[in-house]
Amino acid sequence: MREILRSNDPVELSFTEVLLRDSGIDCILFDAHTSILEGSIGAIPRRLMVADDDFEAAKRLLTDAGQRDDNA
């Protein structure tokens, strides 16, 4: 698994998850429960993960959608 996005923004995470899934790329949200436990201070960002084999395709998709910097 590789991290494709790290964020505290639930809208950004949800949008990215839908974008990936609609393109046939499975993803998993890590740290969702830990982030909730620490409250709303945003100290622990959530991570959206994709399979190693899907990472390059996911990166291209998010770059094309303006959701990721080309150099990231």
pLDDT score of 7: 92
The full set of domain ranges for the chain reads: 2-64
* Residue type at 47 in one-letter notation: R
Residue 72 has pLDDT above 60, yes or no: no
The per-residue pLDDT of the chain, averaged, comes to 88
pTM: 0.81
Q: Which residue has the higher pLDDT, 41 or 71?
A: 41
pLDDT score of 32: 82
Residues 10-35 have pLDDT tens digits of 899 999 999 999 999 999 999 888 75
CB atoms within 10 A of CB 55: 16
Which of the following CATH numbers is that of domain 2-64: 2.30.42.10, 3.30.70.790, 3.30.70.20, 3.40.50.150? 3.30.70.790
CB-facing half-sphere around the CA of 29: CA atoms within 13 A:
21
